[in-house]
Structure 1
Amino acid sequence: MASRTRLVASTASGLIRASRPTLVSRTAAPVALRTFSQTHSPAAQNATGNPLSSFISANSPPTYFSSSKSLPANTIIRFVPQQTAWIVERMGKFHRILQPGLAVLLPVIDRIAYVKSLKENALEIPSQSAITADNVTLELDGVLYTRVFDAYKASYGVEDAEYAISQLAQTTMRSEIGQLSLDHVLKERANLNANITAAINEAAQDWGVTCLRYEIRDIHAPEPVVEAMHRQVTAERSKRAEILESEGQRQSAINIAEGKKQSVILASEALRAEQINMASGESEAILLKATATARGIDAVAQSIAQGKDAAQGAVSLSVAEKYVDAFAKLAKEGTSVIVPGNVGDIGGMIASAMAVYGKVNNANAKSVASNMLQGGEDTAAGRKIAELEAQLEEVENGTGDVQNAISKAMDQRLNRK
């Protein structure tokens, strides 16, 4: 027991003498510092069997986002870089976090245990397989962007933060992809990335690390699935092309039908206007003709009312001529001749013709004709009336010929024309 106590005391005194500052030249100072760091490092102390190794850990834990792979040595005076946090342990226990700038450490008992970078870091997530909700196996890889917000938790909250974050990102990705179909995975990358980021942040709070964003880099589907997707895209494009072509044909047919419709409407409106104009012209012509006829009838009626005998005879003659003229036209226009039942009775025919006018008074007509003959009035109407009366008397007496009477009347009509 006494020998062990003497060994510890001698070792401690030797370390204290070695740690005393000495005046050296500028060129020899770096060499002395390196020698001190090498001889007083945890590995060197373990190799020499230094009893103080029980107070200082020999194996440094893996660093997360460290500036270099090796930890900086305790050279009493150190300069901490910007955006970097150094974790100092004193006698194996957390002592403080060195901020950027000048830092003074105690030799032997102070040790820089962890170096944490406070910058944003990109962590590559290796490729992994995941199965979608519709049972399609995908190969995915991504990039995770993180930052240390608490150097103490990042150092002591997890053994290997980098490995833990990577594994958490992979498992979260598998879980999120298993809830989506292949189409949703391809279409909703942004939502998938946001869900993975939220899940990682929820678990990484105790590690002093925050996940800023996660980006899926590549998605590899099986070859048959890729070929099926290509065929689907081709079919979809063909479908769209056919739909657009049919829409074009439909619109073209509609335009043609609209054009024909407008053409028919315009043509019907033009025909309507033409018929209206023709009807208006015909109505005006009929009105003018009826007006002229009415005026003529009024003139004859006024003449008769005024007691003009010549007017009465002229009317009777006109009716007889029109009657005979109608039979002449029937004989010319066709082979069939329509005659009344009393064609042998020319007197009845003339009487029927005269009845059309209004059954003119025969007594007045005979008296007018007699007066005209007795008075010796040499007028064309008087002569014609006299001839007709003579023919009527012959027919009534049975001495006249019906055919001769009709032919004479027709000859007179033709001569008049």
Structure 2
Amino acid sequence: MNEFPISNVIILAIVIFLIYGIFFLVKQQTAAIMERFGKFQSVRDSGLQLKIPLIDKVAGRINLKIQQLDVIIETKTKDDVFVRLKVSVQFQVMKDKVYEAFYKLENPQSQITSYVFDVVRAEVPKMVLDNVFERKDDVANAVKSELNEAMQDYGFDIIKTLVTDIDPDEQVKISMNRINASEREKVAAEFEAEAERIKIVAKARAEAESKRLQGQGIADQRREIARGLVESVDVLNKVGINSQEASALIVVTQHYDTLQSLGEETNSNLILLPNSPQAGSDMLNNMVASFTASNQIGETMKRVDEENRKKREKGEG
């Protein structure tokens, strides 16, 4: 049995070493830093790349994708409220400054974090707590402006900064919730009071309108009754019945009409007194006596006034 020559094994090992030593791959959105004898030689882009074995070395690889760093800072507002802010920084290595990004900064995340702390702790203490919520975009823009100015020299571009969370102290949040609840209860009470007032006003207006219409109806009723009486007297006068006789007839007629209507009410407990045929005549006699007395008093007053007037005229003459 023939043994495999050792020389062939050595040659095969050298070939494999050369293949793996000459060729290397660079992934998409990645840059490779090449060094020759420990000195920067070039930046290689994505794809299949060549290098000289034992002379060239891949010193490192740089991620060219957009990355995000979340920084949590605790600081104090102008009104002495401790608050925690979460600032998200989106950054990317600039393709034309891969050398600076690799060699100038050992830990870019730590550098970015330091700048975020510095800017936030300079901006937030200028604001009261409510303004921190309202002007969080101003804080984010200040962070981005400061970071862009500082990090571009190191090969990093700040894409966007966002204040994604504002978390006050727990006791402060409880107090704010109580204040908001009280405000809402106050507004609800005002709306309820206004609704009650509107109902009362509407009810009062409806009652007033009802009374007005009721009064108008009573006035119209009385007016029609008076008109009917006048017409009845005129009709009776035309057939030779004088005013007193007409009045007596009308009173008696209304008296018995009333008795008839009361009799038709089966559930009525009303008793009309006096209740006799002579009642109508008595009412008429009383009315005539009253009219006669009133006329006599009126004539006497006129006669006295006339005598007084003549005495004054005689005295003046």
Partner residue in 1 for 2:206: 259
1:285 CA drift (Å)? 5.5
Map Cα deviations across residues 162-220 of structure 1 (whole Å, 9 max, x no partner): 22111112222222322321112234445543443344334333333233333445544
CA contact (8 A) 1:176 1:196 kept: no
Residue identity matched to 1:120:
I
Out of 140, 144, 155, the residue aligned to residue 208 of structure 1 is 155
Higher relative contact order (CA 8 A, sep 6+): 2
Mapping 1:133-172, distance limit 5 Å:
133-150=78-95, 151-156=98-103, 158-172=105-119
TM-fit CA distance, 1:146: 2.0
Partner of 1:96: 42
CA distance 1:132–1:339, change in 2 (3 Å)? closer
Change over 3 Å in CA distance of 1:339–1:181 after alignment to 2: closer
Residue type of the alignment partner of 1:175? A
Give the TM-score normalised by structure 2.
Answer: 0.60
**SS of residue paired to 1:138:** strand
- The structure that has the greater radius of gyration is 1
CA contact (8 A) 2:18 2:53 kept: no
Closer, same or farther in 2 for the Cα pair 1:224/1:281, shift >3 Å? same
Q: Name the residue aligned to 1:128.
A: 73
What do the CA deviations read for 1:202-254 (whole angstroms, capped 9, x no partner)?
43333332333334455443344233223313322322332232122223223
* CA displacement at 1:99 relative to structure 2: 1.0
Letter in 1 for 2:76: I
Find the aligned partners of 2:213 and 2:122 in 1 and give their Cα distance: 71
Q: Which amino acid aligns with 1:131?
A: K
Aligned equivalent of 1:118: 64
* Secondary structure of 1:135's aligned partner: coil
- The residue aligned with 1:250 is 197
**TM-score when scaled to structure 1?**
0.47
**2:101–2:154 CA contact under 8 A, matched in 1:** yes
CA distance in 1, matches of 2:144, 2:161: 6
Preserved contact between residue 137 and residue 163 of structure 2 (Cα < 8 Å): no
- The residue type equivalent to 1:24 in the other structure is I
Measured on the aligned residues, the alpha-carbon RMSD in Å equals: 4.0
In the alignment, what sits opposite 2:12? Answer: 25
1:232 is matched with 179
Structure 1 residues 5-404: aligned runs within 5 Å: 24-25=11-12, 32=17, 75-90=21-36, 93-125=39-71, 127-150=72-95, 151-156=98-103, 158-216=105-163, 218-275=165-222, 277-278=224-225, 281=228, 288=234, 292=238, 333=289
1:124 counterpart letter in structure 2: D
Can you give the 5+ residue segments of structure 2 that lack an aligned partner in the other structure? 1-8, 243-284, 297-317
Q: Which has the larger strand fraction?
A: 2
Give, as a single letter, the amino acid of the residue that structure 2 aligns with 1:147. Answer: Q
User: Residue 75 of structure 2 contacts residue 83 of structure 2 at CA under 8 Å; is this kept in 1?
Assistant: yes
Q: How many residues align?
A: 241
Shift of 1:80: 0.5
SS at match of 1:87: strand
Residue 131 of structure 1 contacts residue 178 of structure 1 at CA under 8 Å; is this kept in 2? yes
Note the C-alpha offset of 1:108.
4.6
Q: Does structure 1 conserve the Cα–Cα contact (< 8 Å) formed by 2:21 and 2:51?
A: yes
Q: Is the CA contact (8 Å cut-off) linking 1:89 and 1:110 kept in structure 2?
A: yes
- On the 8 A contact 1:84/1:117 being kept in 2, the answer is yes
What is the letter of the counterpart of residue 12 of structure 2?
Answer: S
Superposition deviation, residue 281 in structure 1: 4.3
Q: 1:292 to 1:228 in 2, by over 3 A?
A: same
How far 1:337 sits from its partner (Å)?
8.1
Structure 2 CA distance for aligned equivalents of residues 33 and 259 of structure 1: 105
Deviation at 1:267? 2.7
Percent identity at matched positions?
26
Q: Quick check: 1:172–1:200 contact (8 Å CA) kept in 2?
A: no
C-alpha spacing 1:269/1:155, structure 2 compared with 1 (3 Å): farther
